Structure 1
Amino acid sequence: MRIMGLDFGSKTIGVAVSDALFLTAQGIKTIRRSPREIEELGELLKEYEVSEIVIGYPKNMNGTLGPRCALTDEFVDRLRAEFGLPVERWDERLSTVAAQRALLEADVSRGKRKQVIDKMAAVFILQGYLDRRHAKNIPN
């Protein structure tokens, strides 16, 4: 079993999955938002034998909840209804900034960064969640 991390955006959904020991996050793909997005996520959930989903929760920098949080909450409800899996919200403030910084430090071209930024943000979201689980000694 694995945990899936999602960076839910207005145009795309970045996807990452954990390893089987819940130690590391790997970027899988970026899904273009469309009527088929739930079907694509379902295929990935089966392929990677996912038992839990973590989704970035886009709080404002001052900690308040903005309109993007309401859209994320609606998507969380859809995921729970469709797949019957637990879905955790993870504070994603600065995850895209961290992903952008990592790609810049790796000297990834602007065009390539645009293609992978959401997937990388999903990795940062999931890795933060996994690190917290590990620190709290939450069993696999």
Structure 2
Amino acid sequence: MLEAPKGTTLAFDFGEARIGVAQGDAELGMAHPLATVSGNSNEVKFEAIAKLVREWQPVQLVVGLPTHADGTEHELTRLSRKFGRRLHGRFNLPVYWVDERMSSLYAESLLAEAQVFGRKQKAVLDQVAAQAILQGFFAGGAAEFFNGRDTEEVSAD
């Protein structure tokens, strides 16, 4: 398990249409849903993320890494890794990847417990999934860490 720095953390549940964002404090080990980012272009999405980074001043970023139930990777895994590398390239913060296989189910059950259904649930599902990813990071650590160390080119677009 990788030891993460203490301080504010932003976590992301990456999706091609929407990106859920959660915020938490590593020392307290508590995560909270924060925002759902969407837009017609990557530039619009990254501008919204930049605003959150300026506001919350995180010391690290966490990205959920989706895989098949058996742990094998797929296209969204590749896109999530690319997203994480772009975050690092833009904000020069360490990025941790966390297994997110159960985050959406966890988010749905939390929202159902809170009696949030239908359109209201859809509006916050991604950020609650990001909260689940971040809570998993605080509880169990990261699967992987990225700080510009791999040979793939980091693109900021």
TM-score (norm 2): 0.80
Unpaired segments ≥5 residues, structure 1: 134-140
Displacement of 1:74: 1.2
Mapped partners of 2:53, 2:69: distance in 1:
31
Displacement of 1:82: 0.7
Mapped partners of 1:9, 1:22: distance in 2:
28
Q: Which residue of 2 aligns with 1:28?
A: 34
Mapped partners of 1:91, 1:20: distance in 2:
18
Q: Which residue of 1 aligns with 2:13?
A: 7
Q: Which residue of 1 aligns with 2:25?
A: 19
TM-score (norm 1): 0.89
State which of 69, 76, 80 in structure 2 corresponds to 1:68: 76
Q: Does 1:105 align with 2:113?
A: yes
Deviates more, 1:17-26 or 1:112-121: 17-26
Displacement of 1:21: 3.0
Q: Which residue of 2 aligns with 1:50?
A: 58
RMSD: 1.3
Q: Looking at secondary structure, tell me which structure has more helix per residue.
A: 1
Unpaired segments ≥5 residues, structure 2: 1-6, 142-157
CA pair 125-99 structure 1, distance change in 2 beyond 3 A: same
Q: Which residue of 2 aligns with 1:81?
A: 89
Work out the number of aligned pairs and report it.
133
State which of 114, 131, 136 in structure 2 corresponds to 1:128: 136
Mapped partners of 2:21, 2:28: distance in 1:
16
Mapped partners of 2:27, 2:56: distance in 1:
13
The sequence identity of aligned pairs, in percent, is: 35
